[in-house]
Amino acid sequence: MGRVEGKVAFVTGAARGQGRSHALRLAQEGADIIAVDLADHIPNIDYPSSTEEDLAETVRQVEALDRRIIATKTDIRDRDAMKAAIDDGVAQLGKLDIVVANAGICVIADWENTSVDVWNQTIGTNLTGAWNTLQLTTPHLIANGGGSIILTSSAAGIKGLPFLSAYVVSKHGVVGLMRSYATELAEYNIRVNTIHPTGVNTPMGTLGGGAFGPLLEAHPKLGGMLANLLPIEITEPVDQSNAVLFLASDEGRYVTSLELTVDAGNTQF
Amino acid sequence: MTGRVEGKVAFITGAARGQGRSHALRLAQEGADIIAVDICESIPGMEKYYAGATEEDLAETVRQVEALDRRIVARKADVRDYPALKAALDEGVAELGHVDIVSANAGIFAFGEQSQLVEDAEWEMVNDINAKGVWHTAKAVIPHLIEQGTGGSIILTSSTAGLKGTPNVVAYTASKHAVVGIMRTLALELAPHRIRVNTVHPTSVNTDMIQNEATYRLFMPDNPHPTKEEAAPIFVGINALPIPWVEPVDISNAVLFLASDEARYVTGTELKVDAGYTVK
């Protein structure tokens, strides 16, 4: 018996990285999946964008676990498209129990080189996209008689990190979103929590970090803020997925409004 | 199917009943052997609140762990008595071979007076058990964990009262805040050894600690003999989720997550299992 047997989970940013890992970990434990991803070119980021082939690979891997998956190429900023993807997925899979608001982007730039485009794009995706995800899925969770919402924040949602002002603000905003929804949705037996990863071994977490080099050389005092307390360089996607699974499962049935750090102690510095 | 803590050994204080027994059983279900201690006595000064655990309670924990085909070394020991606590742990490690998981769970709940009325004796009793006892537990086990060189997971039981103020519960609230300070310090000191340190923060848990007339009267001061049925709606009011209290297994599932390799990079976290108590 899987730990989320018979449940249905909606995962954003599911084409690869943490999102794919969440889909697979939940499917391993018995959940069916509704997946969305932009799967298209994203301007201004230093790492490759996810593709339709990536999303198809997530579908293939979930189906290899004998679970069902409804995957749609969808931009979380596009409310009409999101509503269609969510409503269609729920219609096909019958209900919704778990929401994982995972999709996000990260652009490294110091304060004076953070462009208006990058600011708007980061807030639009990481924060407004998460709000779209929650507001459009909540009616289905209420209809279901309860559920679990997990938002991906960051160590940068708890403390400031250098050269990431738009990202830091968006991830702090996600905590505010979590707290607001946790308060309002408790009466419906809907739990709302955040996870706070440190660096994760994904395209965003590994290929996107190059711009830190010259900035940290110019401001060496700030380098320690990015370090982990445990003697590891980076976490794996499955480490984040195991936290998502705990919060999604009935093992976490009375856990709400929690900021769950999976950060190797980064925020303890 | 391999258990989630298969082959590990867990040291648990306050294991005779309540949350401590539940932690022992949940970890044993997932493959761990157990070193259990409990004071197994009614503590002088606590009788007016609720009765202490007994040696029969601890024997029942032993019986239930062994029924799961796991090994258990159980000793009657007071977390305030460092030599006795250390001796119990050392005997357990000698018999079971190692220790990987620590649940510093033993604690007492004394309450009911405004802060200026609390006697020194009550303050000292609560803080000696809830804060100093947790430090003793860590102090006894850290040398084993470092020497083994295989990391480890220490879970300290704090409370919602470790995150928020609680009127008329000053000694307990102070002691549970202290537990967070211990956790944060140990997380920093022990990270180089891959030893993780976290707290759990329960709301009311369905155990003898809250299921007693004295606790009900905290919420119904004018009722001489309040009942569980009368108290339940008031307990619902303190949580955000529409439930009066959580079950011991809900805390145990959080302990299990933190104890297991699923949380191998979780350290320094305050894991609330509080039904939204602290958001209100």
Whether residue A78 has pLDDT greater than 90: yes
At B169-196, the pLDDT tens digits run: 999 999 999 999 999 999 999 999 999 9
Q: What does the pLDDT read at residue B219?
A: 86
List helix spans (H) across A199-269.
Answer: 203-207, 212-218, 237-248
Q: Are residues B166 and B81 in the same domain?
A: yes
CA A185 to chain B, closest CA, distance in angstroms equals 9
Q: Are residues B187 and B230 in the same domain?
A: no
Q: What does the pLDDT read at residue A48?
A: 95
Domains contained in chain B, number: 2
Q: What does the pLDDT read at residue A209?
A: 79
Whether residue A208 has pLDDT greater than 80: no
Q: What does the pLDDT read at residue A63?
A: 98
Asked if the structure places residue B190 within a domain, the reply is yes
Yes or no, beta carbons of A182 and B267 under 8 Å apart: no
Whether residue B70 has pLDDT greater than 90: yes
Task: To the nearest 10°, report the CA torsion of B260, B261, B267, B270.
Answer: -40
What is the ipTM score, two decimals?
Answer: 0.91
Q: Are residues B240 and B159 in the same domain?
A: no
The answer to whether B24 and B36 are in contact (CB under 8 A) is: yes
Q: Are residues B215 and B135 in the same domain?
A: no
Q: Are residues B155 and B33 in the same domain?
A: yes
Q: What does the pLDDT read at residue A210?
A: 83
| Residues of chain B with C-beta less than 8 angstroms from the C-beta of A198 | 265
Residues 6+ apart with CB under 8 A from B22: B248, B249, B251, B252
Q: Are residues B18 and B55 in the same domain?
A: yes
Q: Are residues B20 and B61 in the same domain?
A: yes
Q: Are residues B263 and B146 in the same domain?
A: yes
Asked if the structure places residue B71 within a domain, the reply is yes
Instruction: Say which CATH number the domain at B152 has.
Output: 3.40.50.720
At A42-64, the pLDDT tens digits run: 999 999 999 999 999 999 999 99
Asked if the structure places residue B266 within a domain, the reply is yes
Q: Are residues B220 and B127 in the same domain?
A: no
At A79-101, the pLDDT tens digits run: 999 999 999 999 999 999 999 99
Q: Are residues B132 and B198 in the same domain?
A: yes
| B139 exposure class (CB count in 10 Å sphere: 0-12, 13-18, 19+) | middle
Asked if the structure places residue B4 within a domain, the reply is no
Asked if the structure places residue B49 within a domain, the reply is yes
At A170-206, the pLDDT tens digits run: 999 999 999 999 999 999 999 999 999 999 999 999 8
Q: Are residues B232 and B167 in the same domain?
A: no
Q: Are residues B114 and B138 in the same domain?
A: yes
Say which of B203, B242, B273 has its CB closest to residue A189: B242
Q: What does the pLDDT read at residue B280?
A: 82
Interhelix angle A52-64/A17-28, rounded to 10 degrees, is: 20
* DSSP state, residue B194: T
Q: Which of B265, B272, B273 to mutate to test the interface with A (most CBs of A within 10 A)?
A: B265
Give the structural domain span for B233. Answer: 211-244
Asked if the structure places residue B124 within a domain, the reply is yes
Residue B141: pLDDT band with limits 50, 70, 90: very high
- Residue A167 is a catalytic residue: yes
